[in-house]
Amino acid sequence: MLEKELKLKVLNRLSQYFFIQEEVDGVHFTGKKFRIDAVIKPFDVTGWKNPNVAFGVEFKQTSIEYDIRGVTGLIRQAYDYQHTDFETFGKIPILICPLKLHPILGDGAISFTRHLLGKFGIGEIRNTPHRGLSIIFQESHYIWDEKNGLSLGRYWSFL
């Protein structure tokens, strides 16, 4: 699926639950200017530990296989976004959609990478079989999902 198609499909589904602002500009601490695909903020923040919670979302094309160089480039981009002040949102956690990690890494390395990214405030939006679209950090920490709504977001402040 092309990045543009994926973005439209995912944002249409998320628009039932989140305010969405597309193409949000920001300034990295080095002064470099960045633009993230979207920022999402829950309509209803009742129960969220951080009532000002917002997430930056970066979409990536799914029709190609990422090699190691592509994966590390995506991680570097997300890490840069993590240190970027986005317009009215400030510094926010970043979600990659989808977070495709090359199978050559092996299951252990994929798990390690997801956990490490989560420690740096980088998660993913993943479509899961029993929960639908889900915001996930550190491989298995469900923050929010379409089926159950708010999960660990009631305990995580993302500050």
Number of H helices, E strands in the chain: 3, 9
**Spatial distance between the Cα atoms of 3 and 11, rounded to a whole number of angstroms:** 12
- Structural domains present in the chain: 3-154 (3.40.1350)
Classify the C-alpha dihedral 35-150-141-14 as positive or negative: negative
Q: Which of 2, 6, 43 is nearest to 133 (CA)?
A: 6
State the pLDDT at residue 83.
Answer: 92
Instruction: Please write the tens of the pLDDT for every residue from 42-66.
Output: 999 999 999 999 999 998 875 555 5
**pLDDT over 90 at 86, yes or no:** yes
In order of 15, 51, 144, the CA distances from 131 in angstroms are 17, 23, 9
State the pLDDT at residue 114.
Answer: 83
Q: Is the Cβ–Cβ distance between 59 and 7 less than 8 Å?
A: yes
Residues 6+ apart with CB under 8 A from 4: none
